[in-house]
Amino acid sequence: MATVKQIEANRRNALKSTGPRTPEAKAAVRMNALRHGLRARTVVLPAEDSEEFHQLCNDLETEWQPQSRTEHFYVEQMAISQWKLTRVEVAEKSIVAQEVSAKTQIPLLDKLWQCQGRLERSFARAQRDLERLQNSRRSPVQPGEATRPPQPAPQVPASPAASEPPAPKPPYVMSAAASAAGARKPDPAPRIEPRRRTAS
């Protein structure tokens, strides 16, 4: 635990470090915490061309023709994912171009490939949701359609021979010989006497 003297020393030091005060100094340190830009708040980084991103958004809007705010959101999500995928490819190229050991390169590339997979899934999910939303908008359910009972399947006319009912089977009649044999009682089985053991 910090002592009272240490806490007072920390407060005095904090008064001396106030950070940049001028607009030029603030602009210089504005991106200090930015390392790769994959999770940047702004989609377009300072080194990137914002016109290209706007052109990508326009192309996707022309292709998908969003009509509602939600559809616009999905198109924008697709544009952001595609833009960041391009950024991942540039970062991968720069990592491979560096002359560092494989022990350093492989973890960096692995993180990039994980991020690439997430961005591809994000693009595919936004596209799937957009398609489902547009399909439901284009073919709305008519009122009363959901409650309409299903129609029976059309009956195929049967052939004349198949339409006649089958002839009834005659009842089973026991023959006279079988009934006479059934009326007689069977002979009892002969009784077998056990053999007696004789003394030798």
Ranking 115-119, 159-163, 187-191 by mean pLDDT, the lowest is 159-163
Q: How far apart are CA 57 and CA 59, in angstroms?
A: 5
Q: How far apart are CA 73 and CA 79, in angstroms?
A: 10
pTM of the full structure: 0.54
**Domain of residue 109, residue span:** 49-138
Per residue in 11-59, pLDDT (tens digit) is: 888 777 677 778 887 777 666 666 666 656 678 988 899 899 999 999 9
Rg of the chain (C-alpha set): 44
130 falls within a domain = yes
59 falls within a domain = yes
| Number of H-type helices and E-type strands within the chain | 7, 0
105 falls within a domain = yes
200 falls within a domain = no
9 falls within a domain = no
143 falls within a domain = no
87 falls within a domain = yes
Structural domains counted in the chain: 1
Residue 84: predicted pLDDT: 94
Picking from 76, 82, 79, 77, the residue whose alpha carbon sits closest to that of residue 116 is 82
72 falls within a domain = yes
Segment 78-89 shows an average pLDDT of 94
